[in-house]
Protein backbone atom coordinates (compact mmCIF):
# COMPACT_ATOMS: atom_id res chain seq x y z
CA UNK A 1 0.00 0.00 0.00
CA UNK A 2 1.22 3.47 -0.86
CA UNK A 3 2.08 5.99 1.84
CA UNK A 4 0.89 8.77 -0.48
CA UNK A 5 -1.94 10.83 1.00
CA UNK A 6 -4.24 13.31 -0.69
CA UNK A 7 -5.42 16.69 0.43
CA UNK A 8 -9.14 17.34 0.20
CA UNK A 9 -8.53 19.39 -2.95
CA UNK A 10 -6.55 16.58 -4.57
CA UNK A 11 -9.21 14.03 -3.69
CA UNK A 12 -11.94 16.34 -4.99
CA UNK A 13 -10.10 16.80 -8.32
CA UNK A 14 -9.34 13.10 -8.71
CA UNK A 15 -12.93 12.13 -7.96
CA UNK A 16 -14.55 14.99 -9.87
CA UNK A 17 -16.56 16.28 -6.92
CA UNK A 18 -16.57 19.45 -4.86
CA UNK A 19 -14.54 19.53 -1.66
CA UNK A 20 -17.72 20.59 0.12
CA UNK A 21 -19.33 17.28 -0.93
CA UNK A 22 -16.42 15.37 0.61
CA UNK A 23 -16.78 17.30 3.87
CA UNK A 24 -20.54 16.65 3.86
CA UNK A 25 -20.09 12.94 3.20
CA UNK A 26 -17.54 12.81 6.01
CA UNK A 27 -20.03 14.56 8.31
CA UNK A 28 -22.67 11.97 7.40
CA UNK A 29 -20.27 9.10 7.96
CA UNK A 30 -20.04 7.99 4.33
CA UNK A 31 -16.35 8.84 4.27
CA UNK A 32 -14.28 7.95 7.31
CA UNK A 33 -12.72 10.91 9.08
CA UNK A 34 -9.27 11.32 7.52
CA UNK A 35 -6.01 11.82 9.32
CA UNK A 36 -5.02 15.42 9.83
CA UNK A 37 -1.62 16.94 9.31
CA UNK A 38 -1.28 20.50 10.58
CA UNK A 39 -5.07 20.62 10.80
CA UNK A 40 -5.57 19.68 7.14
CA UNK A 41 -7.39 16.54 6.02
CA UNK A 42 -5.18 13.87 4.48
CA UNK A 43 -6.95 11.03 2.71
CA UNK A 44 -5.42 7.69 1.75
CA UNK A 45 -5.36 6.77 -1.95
CA UNK A 46 -8.16 4.29 -1.24
CA UNK A 47 -10.51 7.23 -0.63
CA UNK A 48 -10.67 7.83 -4.40
CA UNK A 49 -12.25 4.42 -4.94
CA UNK A 50 -14.60 4.94 -2.00
CA UNK A 51 -15.82 8.22 -3.50
CA UNK A 52 -16.34 6.31 -6.76
CA UNK A 53 -18.55 3.83 -4.92
CA UNK A 54 -20.54 6.70 -3.38
CA UNK A 55 -21.04 8.20 -6.84
CA UNK A 56 -22.18 4.89 -8.34
CA UNK A 57 -24.64 4.32 -5.49
CA UNK A 58 -25.96 7.86 -5.96
CA UNK A 59 -26.30 7.33 -9.72
CA UNK A 60 -28.18 4.09 -9.05
CA UNK A 61 -30.68 6.03 -6.95
CA UNK A 62 -29.61 5.13 -3.43
CA UNK A 63 -30.28 7.89 -0.92
CA UNK A 64 -27.50 9.07 1.38
CA UNK A 65 -29.14 7.17 4.24
CA UNK A 66 -29.21 3.98 2.17
CA UNK A 67 -25.59 4.53 1.14
CA UNK A 68 -24.58 4.92 4.77
CA UNK A 69 -26.22 1.56 5.51
CA UNK A 70 -24.46 -0.09 2.57
CA UNK A 71 -20.93 1.30 2.76
CA UNK A 72 -19.75 -0.26 6.00
CA UNK A 73 -20.67 -3.70 4.69
CA UNK A 74 -17.58 -5.02 2.89
CA UNK A 75 -18.53 -8.68 2.61
CA UNK A 76 -20.02 -9.03 6.09
CA UNK A 77 -23.41 -7.61 5.16
CA UNK A 78 -24.12 -9.40 1.88
CA UNK A 79 -27.71 -10.25 2.88
CA UNK A 80 -28.42 -6.64 3.85
CA UNK A 81 -26.83 -5.40 0.61
CA UNK A 82 -29.01 -7.77 -1.42
CA UNK A 83 -32.15 -6.76 0.48
CA UNK A 84 -31.48 -3.06 -0.14
CA UNK A 85 -30.47 -3.67 -3.76
CA UNK A 86 -33.64 -5.66 -4.46
CA UNK A 87 -35.77 -2.93 -2.91
CA UNK A 88 -33.99 -0.28 -5.01
CA UNK A 89 -34.41 -2.44 -8.11
CA UNK A 90 -38.17 -2.64 -7.49
CA UNK A 91 -38.31 1.15 -7.01
CA UNK A 92 -36.44 1.66 -10.29
CA UNK A 93 -38.75 -0.77 -12.10
CA UNK A 94 -41.72 1.29 -10.88
CA UNK A 95 -40.08 4.56 -11.97
CA UNK A 96 -39.34 3.08 -15.39
CA UNK A 97 -42.94 1.89 -15.78
CA UNK A 98 -44.27 5.36 -14.83
CA UNK A 99 -41.84 7.05 -17.22
CA UNK A 100 -42.76 4.66 -20.03
CA UNK A 101 -46.48 5.32 -19.50
CA UNK A 102 -45.80 9.07 -19.62
CA UNK A 103 -43.72 8.66 -22.76
CA UNK A 104 -46.42 6.56 -24.41
CA UNK A 105 -49.09 9.14 -23.55
CA UNK A 106 -46.96 11.96 -24.98
CA UNK A 107 -46.25 9.91 -28.09
CA UNK A 108 -49.98 9.34 -28.54
CA UNK A 109 -50.64 13.09 -28.08
CA UNK A 110 -48.00 13.95 -30.69
CA UNK A 111 -49.62 11.60 -33.21
CA UNK A 112 -53.22 12.47 -32.35
CA UNK A 113 -55.14 13.82 -35.36
CA UNK A 114 -57.27 16.13 -33.19
CA UNK A 115 -56.18 19.75 -33.10
CA UNK A 116 -57.38 20.04 -29.50
CA UNK A 117 -56.49 17.04 -27.35
CA UNK A 118 -59.67 17.60 -25.37
CA UNK A 119 -61.57 16.48 -28.49
CA UNK A 120 -59.69 13.15 -28.59
CA UNK A 121 -61.73 10.24 -27.19
CA UNK A 122 -58.55 8.52 -25.98
CA UNK A 123 -57.44 11.65 -24.14
CA UNK A 124 -60.93 12.11 -22.65
CA UNK A 125 -60.82 8.52 -21.43
CA UNK A 126 -57.42 9.14 -19.90
CA UNK A 127 -58.69 12.26 -18.12
CA UNK A 128 -61.69 10.36 -16.77
CA UNK A 129 -59.48 7.53 -15.56
CA UNK A 130 -57.12 9.93 -13.75
CA UNK A 131 -60.06 11.73 -12.15
CA UNK A 132 -61.36 8.39 -10.90
CA UNK A 133 -58.07 7.82 -9.09
CA UNK A 134 -56.19 5.64 -11.55
CA UNK A 135 -52.56 6.48 -12.26
CA UNK A 136 -51.39 7.47 -15.72
CA UNK A 137 -49.68 4.10 -15.86
CA UNK A 138 -52.95 2.26 -15.13
CA UNK A 139 -55.08 4.52 -17.31
CA UNK A 140 -52.87 4.54 -20.41
CA UNK A 141 -52.52 0.87 -21.22
CA UNK A 142 -52.48 0.32 -24.97
Bridge partners of residue 35, in order along the sequence: 42
- Write the CB contacts of 28 (distance below 8 Å, at least 6 apart in sequence): 64, 68
* Residues 52-68 pLDDT 10s: 999 999 999 999 988 88
Q: Strand 40-44 vs strand 35-37: parallel, antiparallel, or unpaired?
A: antiparallel
* Residues 27-56 pLDDT 10s: 998 998 888 988 899 999 999 999 999 999
State the pTM of this model: 0.71
Amino acid sequence: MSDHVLTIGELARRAGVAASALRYWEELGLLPAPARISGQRRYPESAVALVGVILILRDAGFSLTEQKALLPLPGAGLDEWRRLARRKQAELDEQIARAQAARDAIEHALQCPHEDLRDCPNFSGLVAARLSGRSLQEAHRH
